[in-house]
Amino acid sequence: MLLKPFNTLFKHVLKHQVHDPILLKKVTPNFTIGCKRLLFANNYYPALQTDNTTVIASGLERVEGNTVIASDGTRQEVDVIIWGTGFNVSHPPIAERVVNQNGQRLSDLWKDSSPEAYLGTMIENVPNGFLMLGPNVLVYDSFVSLAEAQVEYIVDSLKQMNAKNISKFTIKSDVIAKHNRQVQTQIQKTVFNSGGCKSYYLDENGRNFAAWPWSLKKLRQRLSTFDFNDYDVQYHQQTSQSIVDAPKEIV
């Protein structure tokens, strides 16, 4: 794995920054760097080493009054509890409000399986429907960059739609199926799946529904031009009248 040398390097950096061997053991990851999202901050480890900070390296089990109890039995009195529980990525709330052309709610379709999309932007059986920052489009980069690439793709589709007199388009079933097979095959080789950690990229079945297995450059290339060959297309009906000169009456 390409990231293993970096893993060794950053562990050396960590030893240089954290001097207490007990704390060092608590904060040293047991997985490959990049398996979870990286934290870019210069004050994180210094903050952990201040006198008024205690690191408990176990999950929270319960709360009794103003005491938190960790899964290893550690008890700690606190004044404030901040719930950093994140958000629901595997089952996005928007799915509750989207019904496809077969009358199926996306939340029902995705209830027992991971969300799927084409280039994180188009959903099967949802005509003219676009999704921003959808399944398997996340890479180590700014969400703004990802959104900009998707917006270019969407705008290009609308321009072509207008120019070609198209009323409705839907991603082809074989196209989206092939795309997701390729994504899931390639993503097995990435640190997200092989790095040895459990992250929000993986659902309860261990399937990676979130990450893009290639580079941002490749994603931008794929989203640079909207190709209607990937879609089932329906055109507006055109009505035209042919004007035929009636024969002149011969007197």
Number of domains in the chain: 2
Q: Does one domain contain both 14 and 134?
A: no
d(CA 247, CA 160): 42
pLDDT for the residue numbered 240: 41
In a domain, 137, yes or no: yes
At residue 218, the pLDDT reads 94
- Shared domain for 104 and 41, answered yes or no, is no
B/e letters for 227-237, b = 16+ CB within 10 Å, e = fewer, are eeebbeeeeee
Cβ atoms 220, 56 nearer than 8 A: no
What pLDDT is attached to residue 244?
40
Specify the pLDDT at position 245.
44
3-state secondary structure 102-124: CCCEHHHHCCCCCCCCECCCECC
pLDDT at 242: 36
- Percentage with pLDDT > 70 across the chain: 94
Q: Which domain holds residue 160?
A: 93-235
Q: Is the pLDDT of residue 248 over 50?
A: no
pLDDT given for residue 238 in this prediction: 61
Based on the domain organization, do 61 and 164 belong to the same domain?
no
Burial string for 170-186 (b: 16+ CB within 10 Å, else e) reads bbbeebbeebbeebbee
